[in-house]
Amino acid sequence: MIILKTPAEIAVMAEASRVVAEALAIVKKAVSPGISTEELDRIAEEAIRVRGAVPAFKGYRNYPKTLCASVNEQVVHGIPSKRKLKEGDIIGLDLGAIVGGFYGDSAVTVMVGRIPEETAKLVQVTEQALYLGIKEAVVGNRLTDISNAVQQHVESAGFSVVTEFVGHGIGRQLHEEPQVPNYGKPGQGPRLQPGMVLAIEPMVNIGRSAVRVLDDRWTAVTVDGSLSAHFEHTIAVQPSGAARILSQLEKART
Ligand code: MF3
Ligand code: CO
């Protein structure tokens, strides 16, 4: 069952998502050669807590940290550690926060210093795929119109979408129905309705699509060792027009 949210509930989810967006911006700024992913986790947790919110991932199914920090061939759910970033790495930063009983969830992939052109293209295409997916999140469309837009863009760039992990509904739970795959034929699944709140999260590999989970039981890596990127936004389907991106900071208008 898909739980629709009222405008008042969406306002609370916007708060949770804004905390995530602000915390991600702070962590992003701290990314540089020499910093450890554990230090980034500490910065993330502090940024969430000073805003009066609670980290969403810490303790979720025994996940030990606030941040998911996925470096290079790590796809998602990398556990922060003593590992230090170096120039040329890419790192996926995934954060969730709880405010007033509701979740917000967002992720970005950032480049550490100078990056080979192909790597920069992977990151750019993955972010573009997210926005193309969000563009389909309108009343009148069906769920897999989002999925198909993501897959088309990724594959026309010559990259692969990850199929083992998917986006999701979000609300009083981190993961609600529906699942939001990053692949599939258009025009299938539930019709999108106002009040649906979704976490759309393309995961894209330069090489083959296959992933496996390391012995730590969390870190997902590409089987072929190729680089992987991940972007995620929490969005709300509106009564009309484009979806509202809850986890995007308002751009200053002049
Ligand atoms: N954005 C990820 C997801 O939706 C984050 C979950 S990490 C976990 O699955 F630790 F909370 F599982
Ligand atoms: Co998510």
CATH topology of domain 7-245: Creatine Amidinohydrolase (3.90.230)
Strand order through the sheet with 176-180:
176-180, 167-169, 197-200, 233-236, 244-245
E-strand ranges in the chain read: 54-55, 68-71, 74-76, 90-99, 102-111, 160-161, 167-169, 176-180, 197-200, 203-205, 211-213, 220-222, 228-230, 233-236, 244-245
- Residues ≥6 apart with Cβ < 8 Å to 215: none
Residue 164: CB within 6 Å of ligand 1? no
Which pLDDT score, from 0 to 100, does residue 250 have?
Answer: 82
Ligand 1 pocket, mutate which of 54, 60, 106, 173 (most atoms under 8 A from CB):
60
Ligand 1 pocket, mutate which of 24, 65, 66, 105 (most atoms under 8 A from CB):
105
Residue 41: CB within 6 Å of ligand 1? no
Which pLDDT score, from 0 to 100, does residue 45 have?
Answer: 99
Atom of ligand 1 nearest to the CA of 167: 4
* Span from the CA of 206 to the centroid of ligand 2 (angstroms): 21
User: Hey, what amino acid is at 69?
Assistant: A
What tokens does 69 get?
């920090």
In tens digits, what is the pLDDT along the chain, a chain of 254 residues? 999 999 999 999 999 999 999 999 999 999 999 999 999 999 999 999 999 999 999 999 999 999 999 999 999 999 999 999 999 999 999 999 999 999 999 999 999 999 999 999 999 999 999 999 999 999 999 999 999 999 999 999 999 999 999 999 999 999 999 999 999 999 999 999 999 999 999 999 999 999 999 999 999 999 999 999 999 999 999 999 999 999 999 876 56
Which pLDDT score, from 0 to 100, does residue 253 have?
Answer: 59
* Span from the CA of 231 to the centroid of ligand 2 (angstroms): 9
For atom 8 of ligand 1, the residue with the nearest CA is 57
Atom of ligand 1 nearest to the CA of 175: 4
Ligand 1 pocket, mutate which of 48, 68, 200 (most atoms under 8 A from CB):
68
For atom 2 of ligand 1, the residue with the nearest CA is 94
Whether the predicted model's global pTM rises above the 0.75 cut: yes
CA torsion sign for 209, 210, 214, 217 is: positive
Which pLDDT score, from 0 to 100, does residue 251 have?
Answer: 72
User: Hey, what amino acid is at 135?
Assistant: K
- Domain ranges in the chain are 7-245
